[in-house]
Amino acid sequence: MKLWQGAMISLARNEALTRFMQERAPTSGLAARFVAGPEVADFVVTARRLREHGFSTSAFFLGEYVADPEKIAANVQGIRAVVAAIDGGEVDLHVSVDPSQIGYALNDGLGEANTFSIAEALADRPAAGRKTLMLDMEDESYVPRTLALHSALGNRGLPVAITIQAYLRRSAADIEHLAASGATVRLVKGAFVGSPQTAFAARPDIDASYRALAGRMLSEDARAAGMRPVFGTHDEAIIAELRKLARRNGWRPGEYEFEMLFGVRPVLQQSLVDGGEAVRLYLPFGRDWWPYAIRRVGESPHNAWLVAKALVSRN
């Protein structure tokens, strides 16, 4: 499995292959499996279709760890474009942002200014329901800055949420603070590697951390404080446990939700919706689709055929 993941990461980081795939095969089956499409309009069409099947969505404009000012400006423009294009009566005004894609990889001040501009644009849009700017969490160096950004946006009354990673040892204290403040938190296991002093490395330890953090998020105290838990996982065993825990502690579907990646385990996703659960799909769009899509393939060797098909596609 590690060899397969390593191979897919190598493909994701190959700049020549990335350019080839994105210029010559923008509509390949691989892209269509994991990405709404290259344009804002593609996101809107896909989000509407998913809504008809009971799913909410979170828009993500592809591009991360960007230090080029022109690319940062283009990313901000793309994110603001999807905010402007969403009809809040049809599709949730829910947008995910990587701090590294909008300035934090270059300058914290630039990143903060760009994040506030996006959050303010989102807050100004009409919507039938909740509005959310979800701050994605990246490698360990971004954690303090992202938490500080979350606080700054919240203190301004802007519609912000944050992602917390179970592999980090500090997350227990972070969740405690966020639960007490009634925050909206997306809990994920985390895809990065940290030092033994700051992070869990073994899968059983990460799973145990996830369960413990999720338990705090689904506690009666967290519910009383107004917390909104979001569980970003495809782990069927953990999902089943959390559904039972939610019921025991008086949580109703819709007061919490599960978030999954578009194109990953669609049968499980639909079964949860059919079972009455609130499910949100992380729905990327944009032209920089190859690194994101190939990493999704790396999570499952069963998707090898998608790589082969994409590499020979000329559509």
Residue 270: half-sphere exposure toward Cβ, Cα within 13 Å: 7
pLDDT digits (tens, 9 = 90+) for 120-155: 999 999 988 889 999 999 989 999 999 999 999 999
Q: How far apart are CA 13 and CA 175, in angstroms?
A: 33
Question: Same domain for 5 and 80?
Answer: no
Contacts made by residues 298-304, CB under 8 angstroms, sequence distance 24+: 298/4, 298/5, 298/7, 298/8, 298/9, 298/12, 299/5, 299/264, 301/1, 301/4, 303/33
β pairing state of 160-165 and 257-261: unpaired
- Both tokens assigned to 8: 């897919």
Residue 12 CA, chain-centre distance (Å), reads 18
φ and ψ at residue 263, rounded to 5 degrees? 90, -5
Q: How far apart are alpha carbons 253 and 109 in whole angstroms?
A: 38
- How many distinct structural domains can be found in the chain? 2
Are 178 and 243 within one domain?
Answer: yes
Cross-strand partners of 14: none
Residue 8 near residue 297 (C-beta atoms within 8 A): yes
Residues 4 and 59 in one domain: no
CATH number at residue 67: 3.20.20.220
In angstroms, the CA 259 to CA 234 distance is 8
- The per-residue pLDDT for range 248-261, each reduced to its tens digit, is 999 999 999 999 99
For residues 160 and 260, membership in a common domain is answered with yes
Residue 253 domain flag: yes
Do both 191 and 306 map to the same domain?
A: no
pLDDT tens across 185-242, in order? 999 998 777 888 999 989 999 999 999 999 999 999 999 999 999 999 999 999 999 9
- How many residues appear in the chain? 315
> Which domain, by its residues, includes 105?
36-288
Q: What pTM, to 2 d.p., does this model score?
A: 0.90
- Position 311 scores a pLDDT of 54
Domain membership of residue 94 (yes or no) is: yes
pLDDT at position 190 is 87
- Terminal C-alpha separation, the chain: 30
Q: What is the mean pLDDT of residues 50-55?
A: 97
- 252, 180: one domain: yes
Based on the domain organization, do 4 and 88 belong to the same domain? no
Residue 20 lies in a domain: no
Between CA 285 and CA 79 the distance in angstroms is 10
Cα 68 to Cα 70: distance, rounded to the nearest angstrom: 6
175 and 305, same domain (yes or no) = no
pLDDT 10s digits, 65-98:
789 999 999 999 999 999 999 999 999 999 999 9
Q: Please report whether residue 19 resides in a domain.
A: no
How many distinct helices (H) and strands (E) make up the chain?
14, 8
